[in-house]
Amino acid sequence: MPAANPVCPHCGGATVFEEKHTFTGREVRAYRCTVCGHSVTEDCGVALWQVLHDANEAAVARPQPPSPPPKKSWWKFWKR
């Protein structure tokens, strides 16, 4: 989880959140200093959609065990 808005490394001023990108598979946030205008980029790790996508691919690639045949519960009523 990213921290609150980071401090500008150049002047120590406060920064404001500008945008977030996740298209690369990583969560990258951009902040801009309100004092000097310097842009600060923060890499917050793997994007959530990438984690879910990788988990889904692993589940699809794993062979599923065969399902058991359906129980014939109606048969006991038929034999009467």
- How many independent structural domains does the chain possess? 1
pLDDT at 72: 67
- Domain containing 57 equals 1-61
Residue 72 located in a structural domain: no
Quick check: is 66 in a domain?
A: no
Evaluate whether residue 69 is within a structural domain: no
Per-residue pLDDT tens digits for 1-59: 455 778 888 898 999 999 988 888 889 999 999 999 999 888 889 999 899 999 988 88
Is 41 contained in some domain?
yes
- Whether residue 53 is contained in a domain is answered as yes
Q: Is residue 8 part of a domain?
A: yes
Residue 73 domain-assigned? no
* Sign of CA pseudo-dihedral 51, 53, 59, 61: negative
Count of beta carbons in the 10 Å neighbourhood of residue 15: 21
